[in-house]
Amino acid sequence: MIKKFITKLLGKSAGGSKPHFGRRTEVPASVHGIDPQLVDERAVNVVSTLQQAGFEAYIVGGAVRDLLLGLRPKDFDVATDATPEEVKGLFRRAFIIGRRFRIVHVVYGRGREHEVIEVSTFRAHMDNAAAEQVKGNERTSKRQLEGMKHAVDSSGRVLRDNVWGPQDEDATRRDFTVNAMYYDPQSQIVVDYHGGIQDAKKHTLRMIGDPAARYREDPVRIIRAVRFAAKLSPLGFKLESKTAKPLIEAKALLADVPQSRLFDEMLKLLQTGHALASIAQLKHLGLAKGIYPLLDVVVERADSDFVKGALADTDRRVGEGKPVAPSFLLACVLWADVRDGWAQRLARKEHPYPALQEAIDEVFDARIGDVSGRGKLAADMREIWMMQPRFEKRVGATPFSLVEQPRFRAGFDFLRLRADVQEVELMLADWWQEFSMASDAEREDLVNAAKAEQLAKPKARRAPRPEGVAARAPAPKAASASLPEQAETAEGEGAAKKRRRRRRKPDAEAGGQSGAA
């Protein structure tokens, strides 16, 4: 009803072109060739539950694209004509989330093994003209009017997307043709309105409708275009020229997007297993600067061995199905700032630990701002950085207490990356690797050996210091300089003797970046 009303009365949209809702094409299994064995049984269960309740329901989006390519999707989304409230009422563990875009999370399983099937309601295609015309229609329900409240701003940007509509309009308001197909696992039919199957076969990423208008509707589509181009580039996909052409000019529209949303989109760009490819796409498309300040820093430093190693490690872990933590990656990206600020303070003869804390605070203020607040992300980054000087001390009680900390594995992975680029000695990282995997008796032997090694070295004259304050070391000579070595204290030796009880060894593989999550 909404589509017919808009088509009859609107003329052109705010973007300057008529909405093209496409023609419904039902493609049978004999043509599309999707293997039903690749479809998650929980997604099938969600679809069948909705259909049995009298609603339309399909697997939708990237999952259909991957199935067409013969890939097993990591995530499954479902689209339906049921409202969020109606969906929630059909499942025992279902939760309505979001405000700008209300969806339902149907949850299966618990703990780390749980899986979420995301269910969205068919949305209407909305722009300024459409919103005003539908508001003026006396048949428009109160619920639809509430959903359209402040739906689109004067520039054509969609502010809220909770206006329900038919399936063909839902397909039109999606971004790329290969993401706008619907698969019914019961009948095994793919519903295609915009030639998505043909584009998938041609390995083409094409925006539905006028790309410039679509970027105005939601400027974050600029980042999504980069992300999908990076994700699908190994399969030979490329952005259609008409889709890529407006990107540079449209980049200015991102200035009106909330910083928190840009921060989240940046993390998606870097933590979905295609970080290096995403940065390559940003450079290729002329978007290396100006999307988001912190992303500019990532792109600028992506060619350095340290940051490139962190990005490659993140891609590897995602590919292996292991968890990754934004705190670890951002700690790697901003380490040069922390290290340099710390070195400057050490050169002014400030105490090492307070100097490191001040350098970290300065970097948070300059680079992170209030996007992440001073919450868990910042706390985890701080802990990774503050661990680094402690790794230099391999005698006394420090090794035993450090290895038991929840973030030890993230801190150690950080140390290992520093060793890989020769910022610290490889021997140091190897020692901690061995210590973390050793038995209690072996740990004692390793500490004793490190102590004997330290005693064999000529003792450096140290200035007096207050009790409990770490010794000051010379400032790092260059970017590859090691962190200050902490002096052994008599108290540390006494504490070590008291720690003869059995200690829990960290899981070497279950940790990693996830230790900072």
175 is catalytic: yes
d(CA 253, CA 168): 28
At CA 483, angle to CA 514 and CA 326, rounded to 5? Answer: 20
Q: Which H or E run contains 116?
A: strand 115-121
Question: In the beta sheet, which residues pair with residue 123?
Answer: 164
d(CA 371, CA 60): 32
CB-CB contact of 197 with 190 (8 Å): yes
296 is catalytic: no
Distances (CA, A) of 432 to 171, 436, 482: 54, 6, 16
Q: Which of 75, 361, 420, 440 is catalytic?
A: 75
3-state secondary structure of 467: coil
Q: Which of 170, 175, 199, 218 is catalytic?
A: 175
Distances (CA, A) of 398 to 118, 417, 487: 46, 21, 11
d(CA 430, CA 58): 52
The string of DSSP letters for 224-247 reads HHHHHHHHHGGGT-EE-HHHHTTH
Q: Which of 40, 66, 77, 199 is catalytic?
A: 77
**What one-letter code names the amino acid at 366?**
A
Active site residues: 75, 77, 175
